[in-house]
Amino acid sequence: MTSMKLGILCGGYTGWGGGLDFARLVIESLGGLDDRRLDLHVIIPDRGPVLRARTFAWRVRAVVRGALLGDVSPKPGGISSELVKASLGEGQIGARFHHIDDWRGALAALARKERLDAVLPAGFPLGANFSIPWAGFIDDFQYRYFPQNYAPAFRDKRDRFLARMLTEPRAVVMLSRNAAADARKFYPGLTATMFPLPFAAAPAEEWLTDQRDVARRYGVGERYFLISNQFWLSKRHDVAFAAFEKLARDHSDVQLVCTGKAEEHRDPLYVPRLLQFIEERRLEGRIRILGFIPKLDQIALMKHCLAVIQPTEFEGTPGGLSVYDAISLGVRTIVSDISVNREIEEWVTAYFPSNDVDALHQSMESMLDAPAERMPIEDLRRLGKARRRRCAEVLLSAAEFAVASRRA
């Protein structure tokens, strides 16, 4: 197929920083295929009565859950629509943006109106008989490896969800080869054809302008390591904090800076335990938890850090999206050696055995002794463009396969 009207689905990705990054990756990758006649439509389900009702119900559940746990603090309102628009490049990227209600009927109506050929990557099953071809999306199978972090009801629901996602669409986009192997292992009856995405780190053009005042605004000094993750149990901030405590004893000028939403709904006491660790070890000011900050501010901090640390014990995408960003900018990385992260060995600066505090501490020490060398901007652009093109080809192949399978 040489031309296509393709819808890029953002539902399920706009409520958290990593999801926004993934949606932007899909949009920019497909938008960079300048030798194809692609008519791109970015679809964001962020308005309408169904969405308002769901949002209200979610807030009620959050308040009830908080009351049962003894937490009566105000609940965050989520990521603003303005930040979503800016993060996805609305008004900057050559694609049409549509804001619709959050249900299949609204999507089907838009698809008919715009005469879309296919939509992807669907974060939720649309049904085997959805009105137009679609490709699903699966990130990972973390709940299979760490069932203790998930309630039985969640695991059952996730099983049913993934079984549908691997049988209802004709194509499904996977975040990694590792995830595709897991799908075959856990769901031998799958019928969808899987399309694992290649590593696609590339810098946005606006990231390449220096903004050295950002660190000062956030109370960050000259020398610091950076973690840009949600504060989920699997991200293992506790391991990084323990390693940094050892480092801090001998290096009084070094900080550990953390960006990302500081909450973990599966264990509401996890973040308070981390804060208690900081207080008990007298690391206030040394470990800086900044929360969810504007993307450009996060990138500015990343560009001048000693290294980006990724201590995760599980990832759906190689290295996680913070490592995507770091490698796209030529920033050094210290990454846990789990199997999915080994898919990007040629770009990672250093690995350490997962959950090994002493090994992470040693890797951090080595970064202090070896100043970083910055890659020329033109090289960053060239490498990023080549990676994104490979990613776009896989995404387009998934869409074309879905269309061809429907016609067969």
Instruction: Please determine, for residue 76, whether its predicted confidence score (pLDDT) is greater than 50.
Output: no
Q: Which residue has the higher pLDDT, 407 or 157?
A: 157
> What average pLDDT does the segment 144-164 reach?
93
- Taking the CA of residue 127 as centre, how many other CA atoms within 13 Å lie in the half-sphere pointing to its CB? 9
Q: What is the pLDDT of residues 221-263, one digit of tens each?
A: 999 999 999 999 999 999 999 999 999 999 999 999 999 989 9
In 10-152, where do the E strands start and end? 37-45, 96-100, 118-122, 134-138
Q: Topology of 206-374 in CATH?
A: Rossmann fold (3.40.50)
Instruction: Please determine, for residue 360, whether its predicted confidence score (pLDDT) is greater than 50.
Output: yes
Cα(268)–Cα(67) distance, integer angstroms? 12
Instruction: Please determine, for residue 67, whether its predicted confidence score (pLDDT) is greater than 70.
Output: no
For the chain, where do the domains classified as CATH 3.40.50.2000 start and end? Answer: 3-196+385-407, 206-374
Cα(229)–Cα(390) distance, integer angstroms? 26
Which residues in 146-173 are b (16+ Cβ under 10 Å) and which e? eeebbeeeeeeeeeeebebbbbbbbbbb
Confidence bin at 32 (pLDDT 50/70/90): confident
Tokens of 254: 């070094």
Asked if residue 225 lies in contact with residue 364, where contact means CB atoms within 8 angstroms, the answer is yes
Tokens of 306: 């000693």
Asked if residue 256 lies in contact with residue 241, where contact means CB atoms within 8 angstroms, the answer is yes
Instruction: Please determine, for residue 52, whether its predicted confidence score (pLDDT) is greater than 90.
Output: no
Instruction: Please determine, for residue 73, whether its predicted confidence score (pLDDT) is greater than 60.
Output: no
Tokens of 360: 């992470």
Q: Topology of 3-196+385-407 in CATH?
A: Rossmann fold (3.40.50)
Contacts of 141 (CB under 8 A, 6+ apart): 162, 179, 182, 183, 186
